[in-house]
Amino acid sequence: MADTAPRTAIRTQGRGTALGTRPSGTRHPLVATAMVVPLAALLVVAFGGWDAVVTQASSVGVMLGR
């Protein structure tokens, strides 16, 4: 395991410079949102999550006095 650090440093050296990509490995928030929203919608439909969200939101509303 001690030998993996130098090889990793050599492999990652120079990555992220081609085609304007970010060297830190982060992505734009809108890209991340575009990736997450379809999955979230699928999970809501598959597991009936919308009812749970509505129930919890109404409970919080009652607790806050609205």
Instruction: Let me know the angle formed at the C-alpha of 38 by 52 and 44, rounded to the nearest 5 degrees.
Output: 15
pLDDT score for 4: 63
| Choice among 2-11, 32-41, 44-53 with the minimum mean pLDDT | 2-11
Residue boundaries of the structural domains of the chain: 4-64
> 11 or 65: which carries more pLDDT confidence?
65
Residue 3: closest CA among 23, 16, 11, 13: 11
Taking the alpha carbons at both ends of the chain, their separation in whole angstroms is 58
Band of residue 39 on the pLDDT scale cut at 50, 70, 90: confident
